Amino acid sequence: MSDLNTDIKKILVIGIGNCGRHDDGLGWKFTEMISKHSQGKVDSEYRYQLQVEDSVLVSKYDTVIFADASHSKLKQGFEIHRCRAATHYFYSSHMQTPETILYLAKELYNKIPKSFIVAIKGHIWGLGTTLSRVAEKNLEKAVLSFEKEFFKVAT
């Protein structure tokens, strides 16, 4: 995430997930916390899943952060990495990946924002509105790491 060099006012954070399914709400919670801590300097959106229509939204920003819960094993409990546009698009009326959304923004609007994915390791996926303790710790680490880089750029 060390190349996040952009105007802080042109940043969008998109939280992906479902806060009604325990740790699947990590993307939303991350977005909520970053939005609150940024004091209005970023825009935020919440999605159950990304859709084709989100390509027009991301095309309006210089930097887009996609935050989502992860089932993968992540060494630190979270991972922040650069997101690059896919090289093609497969039609689906259902969920799209961040890479596909960037591809569509490039193809349809000739705009590809600098983008990152924040993946946060979750553990409990059933119905419920609370995060697991392990997921909360992973979330805290992800927010601190992101803000360290984010606010360094902002100053």
Give the pLDDT confidence of 92-113 residue by residue, as tens digits: 666 799 999 999 999 999 999 9
Q: For residue 111, what are the contacts with CB-CB under 8 A and spacing of at least 6? A: 59, 60, 105
Cα 107–111–113 angle (5° rounding)?
Answer: 125
Tens digits of per-residue pLDDT, 105-147?
A: 999 999 999 999 999 999 999 999 999 999 999 999 999 999 9
Judged by phi (left if over 0) then psi (alpha if -120 to 50, else beta), residue 63 lies in beta
The predicted model scores a pTM of 0.89
For residues 136 and 72, give the distance between their C-alpha atoms in angstroms, rounded to a whole number.
16
| Span 14-41, average pLDDT | 94
